[in-house]
Amino acid sequence: MESLETRFWSKVDRSGECWLWTDAPSSNGYGYVKVDGKRRRAHRVAWELTNGPIPKGKGYHGTCVLHRCDVRLCVNPAHLFLGTNAENIADRETKGRGWMPRYRGADCAWAKITEAQVVEIRAASGPQTAISARFGISQQQVSRIRAGKRWAHQSPSLNTSAAAPNKEATQ
């Protein structure tokens, strides 16, 4: 049987600096590959084929495989690096793309907080543990959001009195 490695790299166009995944890109711009019956993002598989299993990473957000080149279909291991979600955000901001709506590292389980929810979290009263449970994020995250560290780029003039509709129903 053909190894995953052989099968994988046979679907990659390595003619340019970015090695492009040529098999069935999905609508979100990432390439996907079936591994043991599971659909996986091609760039993550490329990283693993080169470096071994992706370390799990701390907390709920885990570890992302990010692109230096910003080409989602690119699976060149030299263009991929590991990062946390926080790094992903910082990286985005450095590159001037701002925050929402899409994360390049959206394969992290992280992108679950909307801007409206940040406003809600800041406006919410009660213990942080209750807020963290309500929004499904860590208490540390609540603390950071409320302290404005992570979301410092958000406009301070954002109207916190306009209560956002309850997102929980739509999540």
Applying CB under 5 A, the residues found at the interface with Zn ion are 18, 69, 71, 74, 76, 79
Q: How far apart are the first and last CA of the chain?
A: 42
- Which CB sits closer to Zn ion, 42 or 137? 42
- Which CB sits closer to Zn ion, 83 or 151? 83
Beta strand residue intervals within 16-114, DSSP E: 20-21, 32-35, 38-41, 64-67, 80-83
What is the nearest approach in angstroms of Zn ion to the Cβ of residue 170? Answer: 35
Residue whose C-alpha is closest to residue 113's, from 87, 148, 137: 137
What is the nearest approach in angstroms of Zn ion to the Cβ of residue 29? Answer: 13
- Which CB sits closer to Zn ion, 61 or 104? 104
- Which CB sits closer to Zn ion, 43 or 61? 43
Question: Which run of H or E residues covers position 125?
Answer: none
- The sign of the torsion formed by the CA atoms of 135, 141, 93, 155 equals positive
| H-only helix segments in the chain | 4-9, 42-51, 85-94, 115-123, 128-135, 139-147
Please tell me the distance from the alpha carbon of residue 77 to that of residue 112, in angstroms, as a whole number. Answer: 27
What is the nearest approach in angstroms of Zn ion to the Cβ of residue 149? Answer: 31
What is the nearest approach in angstroms of Zn ion to the Cβ of residue 63? Answer: 19
- Which CB sits closer to Zn ion, 73 or 145? 73
What is the nearest approach in angstroms of Zn ion to the Cβ of residue 86? Answer: 23
Query: Cis peptide leading into 55, omega within 30 of 0?
Result: no
Residues in the chain: 171
